[in-house]
Amino acid sequence: MGPFSILFLALLSTTTNGFVVEAENDGAFVEINEFDEVTLGNDLFTVTFNSNATAKSLHKNGVNILENIAEGMQTWYLDWNGERAYFTPSLVEIVRNTPEQAHVRFVQEANYERELMYIEFHMVVFSALSGIYQYIKLSNPTDLTVDFAEFRTVHRFDHALMPKVSNIIRSEATPDVSGRPLIQDTTWQLADGTYWSKYDLCGYIRETPWFGVYGGGFGGWIVSASREYHSAGPLKQELLVHQDSLMLNYFHSTHFGTPNLLVPPGWSKFFGPYLVYINTGSEEEVLADAANQALIEQSQWPYSWVEDEEYPLSRGSVSGRVTGQTKAMVVVYDAVEQQFDLQNLGYLFHAETNEDGTFAIENIRPGSYDVVAYPLAGHGSENLARKSITVEAGGTHNIGDLDLPEPANIIWAIGETSRRSDSYHWSDELRNYYWHLLPPANLTFEIGKSDIGNDWYYAQTKTPGIWKVTYEDERNGYGRILRVAFAAASRSASVTVAINGNDIGHFAYDNDATIYRDALQNGNFHSEVIAIPANYLADGSNTISFELLRGLIMYDAISLAVDE
């Protein structure tokens, strides 16, 4: 008999058909057998986990929807990619086992030989809900800094039964890529010449409250009432679903430009809860039901049933107003000396402003935060407004005004700033590797005649290549201010900016690995404000050029103003 069984025999009282059971359960239940397998469920489904917290089976309506998983593959597990990346629980405990709620946790103790992190992986089932709530408590009790590239849960289903996936934006069957040429990581060219990649199915994590796998009358979904515990900011993109009937819940990853998570000694964080939801019905019914369940979960956040001091039930709110450019994004995040859109150590909350610039953000954990506002329109791409605040449990904090001044004396502009390329050619297409192959190496955009939706492309991707902007101007004794905001920069992009043959700026950026991984609207943001001397201007026609020397660059907005 294994150590888990010994633990449970000490806790529980009866044995039935090889299972150690606390009581007869008509609703939710948790059991463990002599092989250290843990079974959770209710009258709607049952799932059995191996002793390492990987799933062995999940039965719904008499069907095992985890059957036919590829040999050697595991499913429904917690893992990460980084230093000493193992989840090896040495303890399992029943937290609660009543007909109303079954709750079990797997625990990994930290040590210096193999596992550096202390991890609690909790699973909770209620009597009348077809799904498992999961949450993770992660902490570093050692005196070492631990490096994480990824931290996630992975959920595979029977691909023959459930071949379709949905990230809300697209719901489809993934193609058979066996034997097809591999173009780059998990990206293939299909027989008809088109491309398919796992990155096709990425999405904005904070805009995706549900996603999953379905088919054969069944659906399996990740349903998240809140994304406060995920890394990065409002524009964080992430893998959600891809081939082999796989759905992923990434709490942290370096995808699309987010840096590694460097966990310092003494750090801890609470991830979740989120719901792994199982439903049945036609394809249309399971999709609609998943969307409806997301609304139900959001209405219940924060969950009153969580009993943990690291998950505060009493929370605060923050309100205020953005002035100047009133269309803005407001971000509240832990003041941990990280950039808000690259943060990964703490919690983050956000909201877009109303038409009058006002905003309110609810259910913020008590603590110290930085508040940042950035424009979603206009031409002040470099603008950030900041304040530091303390949020108290049950408190309402009005922070007053956050000013985003709109630049004056604009002569012309290509697009408006939003940290996305969303007004340019192909930026609104469905993600695919194909798009970044299409923009021309060279183009000329004529102010007043060319159209940004057709004649300016979401990304400049070919080297050597020069994109030119021509416009009419006159020497009036004043210089000019050129604002160039890049929505992404990939493969160590390098670009030189010139006016009428005079170099006015050279910019190089680290690889955010976004454009060639199907991102069409953003990666890591960069804003440049360039002063143009008056003597560089010409009476009549002027030309500003963007020469791509290396890599790929994505545009947010460009504008020219008089420097008075």
In a structure prediction context, what are the per-residue pLDDT tens digits for the chain, which is 564 residues long? 343 333 333 333 333 333 333 334 479 999 988 778 999 999 999 999 998 899 999 999 999 999 988 777 889 999 887 555 668 898 999 999 999 999 999 999 887 766 678 999 999 999 999 999 999 999 999 998 988 889 999 999 999 999 999 999 999 999 999 999 999 999 999 999 999 999 999 999 999 999 999 999 999 999 999 999 999 999 999 999 998 899 999 999 999 999 999 999 999 999 999 999 999 999 999 999 999 999 999 999 999 999 999 999 999 999 999 999 999 999 999 977 899 999 999 999 999 999 999 999 999 999 999 999 999 999 999 999 999 999 999 999 999 999 999 999 999 999 999 999 999 999 999 999 999 999 999 999 999 999 999 999 999 999 999 999 999 999 999 999 999 999 999 999 999 999 999 999 999 999 999 999 999 999 999 999 999 999 999 999 999 999 999 999 999 999 999 999
**487 and 420 in contact (C-beta within 8 Å)?**
yes
- Residue 302: asked if its preceding bond is cis (omega within 30°), the reply is yes
**Element spanning 7, H or E:** helix 3-11
**47 and 132 in contact (C-beta within 8 Å)?**
yes
- Supply 355's token pair: 């038409």
Q: Give the β-pairing of 101-108 and 118-126.
A: antiparallel
The whole-angstrom separation of Cα 3 and Cα 1 is: 7
For the chain, how far is it from start to end, CA to CA, in angstroms?
Answer: 82
Q: Which amino acid is at 133?
A: Y
The whole-angstrom separation of Cα 482 and Cα 563 is: 9
Reduced DSSP (H G I as helix, E B as strand, rest coil) percent helix, strand, coil of the chain, to 5: 10, 50, 45
**Polymer length of the chain:** 564
Q: Which amino acid is at 441?
A: A
Q: Which amino acid is at 239?
A: L
At residue 67, what are phi and psi to the nearest 5 degrees?
-75, 160
State the pTM of this model. 0.93
The whole-angstrom separation of Cα 347 and Cα 273 is: 14
Q: What is the pLDDT of residue 72?
A: 74
Q: Please, which residues have CB within 8 angstroms of residue 296's CB and are 6 or more apart in sequence?
A: none
Total Cβ atoms within 10 A of residue 379: 24
Q: What is the pLDDT of residue 68?
A: 85
Total Cβ atoms within 10 A of residue 365: 22
What 3-state DSSP class applies to 93? strand
Q: Looking at the DSSP assignment, which residues form a beta bridge with residue 12?
A: none
CA angle (110, 93, 252) in 5-degree steps: 50
Q: What is the pLDDT of residue 82?
A: 59
Q: Which of 115, 100, 119 is nearest to 43 (CA)?
A: 100
Tell me how far CA of residue 489 lies from CA of 70, 253, 372, 464, in angstroms.
37, 18, 23, 16
The whole-angstrom separation of Cα 514 and Cα 63 is: 40
Q: In what order do the strands lie in the sheet with 348-352?
A: 348-352, 328-334, 367-375, 385-391
What 3-state DSSP class applies to 434? helix
- Supply 472's token pair: 């009419």
Please report the DSSP string for 530-560 in residue order: EEE-GGG--SEEEEEEEEEEEEEEEEEEEEE
